[in-house]
């Protein structure tokens, strides 16, 4: 159990002494989880990769560049929800529990209280909101450039470059906001019997108490996912499971020992 500085948030003590070494340890543990149970990681990653390929080819074939760019940029927003099954794999491996597809897939339902599904709805709404904002930014600069929406030459114009700059800044702000509310909340909803509001509060407190390290983690995730998406999303087949498992171990470092049965019963009474 972590013996460093902690802040009490609801029923959870959040560590405030995260170090960069903890990120390396989480990645190593995530890699070990993936190697131990690769089928689960490849399954969830394949769903994500298939969805990415479908969006890419559907929009590219239709020449809908105005939708393709924001869709590709915002697609990683959905990664935390896809990783819920990976959190359950890591949780069960850590606790020495048996693995089964029924148990792993059942994690997507949460603890029967739809809290994880509520978080999923938030993420999908966020993705849709980002698409609308990004498309609006694209339309503004496209009108200024005078080029067609089907022309890749637009991105070489002054307006196209400015669009990418403005879109990147707006996208980074939105991505950071949703990263802050999900980095610890989704693993917590898999691990503990809490409502999603409490989980979000804990996630925000974790970022506030460990700003530098968790921002470094956010940058690492963003850069790694971007690189993994370049070869037709295929790099995500390995990167996504490792990052998903690693996020679980980072959550565990933040919150200490797993909830016991007594703790879970107490938390259920508070919910």
pTM of the model: 0.79
Check residue 133 and give its pLDDT: 84
Check residue 64 and give its pLDDT: 64
Check residue 268 and give its pLDDT: 41
Chain center to CA of 211: 17
Which residues sit opposite 12 in a β-bridge?
9
Domain assignment present for residue 213? The answer is: yes
Domain tally for the chain? 1
Domain assignment present for residue 1? The answer is: no
Rounded-to-integer distance, Cα 39 and Cα 164, Å: 37
Domain assignment present for residue 209? The answer is: yes
Domain assignment present for residue 195? The answer is: yes
Check residue 266 and give its pLDDT: 36
Check residue 239 and give its pLDDT: 92
Q: In Å, what is the CA distance from 266 to each residue of 109, 112, 186, 193, 269? A: 21, 17, 20, 9, 5
Handedness of CA 246, 29, 40, 110 (dihedral sign): negative
Rounded-to-integer distance, Cα 100 and Cα 87, Å: 14
Handedness of CA 249, 179, 129, 242 (dihedral sign): negative
Which structural domain range is residue 59 located in? Answer: 6-270
Q: Encoding tokens for residue 142?
A: 């496209």
Check residue 35 and give its pLDDT: 95
Walk along the chain (271 residues) and give the pLDDT tens digit of each residue: 444 555 545 567 788 889 999 999 999 999 999 999 999 999 988 988 887 777 777 766 666 666 666 666 666 667 777 788 899 999 999 999 999 998 898 887 766 567 787 777 887 888 778 778 877 887 777 766 555 555 566 667 777 788 878 887 888 888 888 889 889 988 998 888 888 888 899 999 999 999 999 999 999 998 898 888 887 778 889 999 999 999 999 999 998 755 444 344 433 433 3
Domain assignment present for residue 115? The answer is: yes
Domain assignment present for residue 79? The answer is: yes
Check residue 261 and give its pLDDT: 42
Check residue 153 and give its pLDDT: 66
């Amino acid at each position: 159990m972590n013996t460093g500085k902690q802040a009490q948030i609801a029923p959870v003590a959040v560590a405030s002494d995260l170090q960069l070494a903890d990120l390396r340890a989480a990645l190593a543990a995530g890699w070990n989880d993936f190697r131990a149970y690769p089928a689960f990681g490849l399954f969830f990653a394949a769903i994500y990769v298939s969805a990415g390929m479908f969006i890419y080819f559907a929009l590219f074939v239709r020449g809908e560049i105005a939708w393709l760019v924001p869709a590709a940029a915002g697609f990683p927003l959905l990664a935390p929800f896809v990783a819920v099954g990976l959190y359950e794999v890591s949780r069960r491996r850590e606790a020495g529990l048996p693995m089964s597809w029924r148990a792993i897939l059942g994690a997507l339902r949460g603890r029967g209280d739809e809290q994880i599904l509520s978080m999923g709805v938030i993420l999908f709404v966020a993705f849709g909101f980002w698409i609308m904002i990004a498309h609006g930014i694209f339309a503004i600069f496209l009108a200024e450039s005078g080029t067609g929406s089907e022309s890749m030459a637009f991105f070489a114009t002054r307006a196209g470059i400015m669009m990418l700059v403005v879109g990147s800044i707006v996208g980074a702000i939105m991505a950071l906001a949703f990263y802050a509310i999900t980095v610890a909340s989704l693993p917590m909803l898999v691990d503990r019997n809490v409502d999603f509001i409490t989980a979000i509060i804990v996630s925000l407190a974790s970022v506030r108490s460990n700003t530098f390290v968790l921002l470094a983690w956010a940058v690492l995730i963003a850069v790694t996912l971007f690189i993994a998406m370049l070869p037709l999303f295929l790099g995500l087949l390995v990167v996504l499971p490792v990052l998903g498992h690693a996020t679980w171990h980072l959550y565990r470092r933040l919150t200490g020992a797993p909830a016991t049965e007594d703790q879970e019963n107490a938390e259920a009474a508070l919910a």
